[in-house]
């Protein structure tokens, strides 16, 4: 009996990992396939709202697709209820409610045809997009820039689909003649983003150049036997500090640099290399925790997200649907990418662009003590 319980517990753990944290090829294919079905659902809902005659003409095909998708998500919901330990916690969580909303209305529509033909059931299908947030964040099939943007794109697609359906039933106000206003605002936003891009990009290259000069000076100073050990220890400490630095770390590194400079003086080490070394270290330590001005950063954040929401809410029809996706991917993506560049020494799994420290790393590996 105990062996059976252990096997069942192990099977549930494997099922939990398969559904939420897939590491196998089969698990990732399953996660990707669920994403495809989610976006097919959204496409079907939009098509039913904007082209009802086409849906009616191919009603058998559309019903087959919808029932197949409904069957897939129903099985998925049952599997989660079987493998999750805390079922009630799951059901009343955000993702649990999304899963229920994605399945229950469709099942009701199968047994109560009148309910299945009402607009509210069709609208509720859009909530399947909420599953993208979980699948994109836990499955590992989207990484880097696309993984960062996927929740925003899914949200824009889902919300814009809802707007399109509401427009079709005349439950959403249509605002016309905003093309010129949106064009001017988009140009102004591009200028703001371009200014920040130039700032953060120059910071990255200037830090990399300074690190290369520091490594060159360290190589020359290390030839002096009296300070050889001190230089190697300082370089190792310097590499550790400038990775994900804090202001306290920077203050500690300044003290260590002063101690090394005092060691130079005791060993009669001087010259342009030492003065250049001190200047470059001071510059790097100043820039590693520097960020864009808070007022500029906040204003750019508010403008970017407000402009994106206006495009999603206001631009009507299929044009608005495509414009929403492009705006999120390009404009919001540009904002998030530049914001990541504004933290060039934040080395984590979520970081996209960082300073290249390979010269310093190679120096420490070569002269490690």
- Tell me the CA end-to-end span of the chain in Å, nearest whole number: 57
Q: Please return the burial class of 181, using the count of CB atoms within 10 Å of its CB with bins 0-12, 13-18 and 19+.
A: exposed
Q: What is the DSSP letter of 82?
A: H
- The rounded distance, in Å, linking the Cα atoms of 74 and 76 is 5
**Taking a C-beta distance cutoff of 8 angstroms, is the pair 113, 71 a contact?**
no
- Nearest C-alpha neighbor of 221 from the set 279, 187, 283, 263: 263
The C-alpha angle with vertex 210 and arms to 206 and 216, in degrees rounded to 5, equals 150
Please list the pLDDT of the chain residue by residue as tens digits (369 residues).
Answer: 566 666 777 777 777 777 777 777 777 788 888 888 888 887 887 777 777 788 778 888 888 888 888 888 888 888 888 888 888 888 888 778 888 887 877 777 777 654 444 556 666 777 777 777 666 655 556 667 777 788 788 888 877 877 777 777 676 777 766 777 788 888 888 899 998 999 888 989 999 999 999 988 888 888 778 788 888 889 889 888 888 888 888 888 898 888 888 888 887 777 776 778 888 888 888 888 888 888 888 999 899 988 888 888 888 777 888 888 888 888 888 998 898 888 888 887 778 888 888 998 888 888 775
Instruction: Enter the pTM of the model.
Output: 0.74
Domain ranges of the chain: 2-168, 181-369
State the residue for tokens 């809902």.
45
User: Per 3-state DSSP, what percentage of the chain is helix, strand, and coil (rounded to 5)?
Assistant: 80, 0, 20
């Amino acid at each position: 009996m105990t062996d059976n319980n252990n096997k069942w517990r192990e099977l549930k753990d494997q099922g939990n990992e398969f559904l939420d944290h897939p590491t196998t090829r089969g698990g990732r294919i399953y996660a990707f396939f669920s994403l495809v079905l989610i976006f097919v659902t959204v496409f079907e809902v939009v098509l039913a709202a904007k082209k009802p005659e086409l849906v009616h003409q191919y009603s058998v095909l559309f019903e087959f697709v919808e029932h197949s998708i409904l069957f897939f998500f129903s099985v998925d919901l049952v599997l989660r209820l079987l493998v999750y330990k805390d079922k009630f916690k799951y059901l009343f969580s955000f993702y649990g409610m999304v899963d229920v909303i994605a399945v229950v209305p469709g099942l009701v529509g199968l047994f109560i045809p009148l309910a299945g033909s009402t607009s509210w059931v069709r609208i509720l299908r859009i909530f399947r997009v909420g599953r993208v947030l979980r699948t994109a964040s836990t499955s590992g099939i989207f990484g880097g820039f696309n993984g960062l943007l996927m929740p925003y794109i899914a949200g824009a697609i889902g919300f814009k689909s809802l707007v399109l359906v509401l427009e079709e039933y005349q439950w959403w106000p249509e605002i016309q003649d905003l093309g010129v206003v949106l064009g001017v605002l988009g140009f102004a936003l591009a200028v703001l983003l371009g200014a920040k891009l130039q700032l953060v990009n120059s910071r990255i290259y200037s830090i990399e150049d300074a690190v290369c000069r520091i490594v060159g000076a360290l190589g020359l100073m290390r030839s002096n036997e009296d300070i050889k050990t001190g230089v190697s220890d300082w370089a190792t400490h310097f590499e550790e500090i400038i990775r994900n630095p804090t202001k306290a770390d920077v203050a500690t590194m300044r003290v260590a640099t002063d101690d090394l400079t005092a060691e130079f003086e005791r060993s009669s080490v001087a010259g342009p290399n030492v003065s250049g070394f001190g200047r470059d270290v001071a510059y790097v330590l100043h820039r590693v925790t520097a960020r864009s001005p808070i007022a500029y950063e906040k204003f750019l954040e508010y403008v970017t997200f407000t402009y994106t929401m206006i495009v999603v809410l206001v631009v009507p029809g299929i044009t608005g649907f495509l414009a929403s996706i492009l705006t999120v991917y390009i404009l919001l993506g540009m904002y998030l990418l530049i914001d990541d560049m504004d933290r060039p020494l934040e080395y984590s799994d979520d970081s996209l662009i960082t300073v290249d420290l390979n010269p310093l790393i190679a120096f420490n590996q070569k002269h490690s003590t």
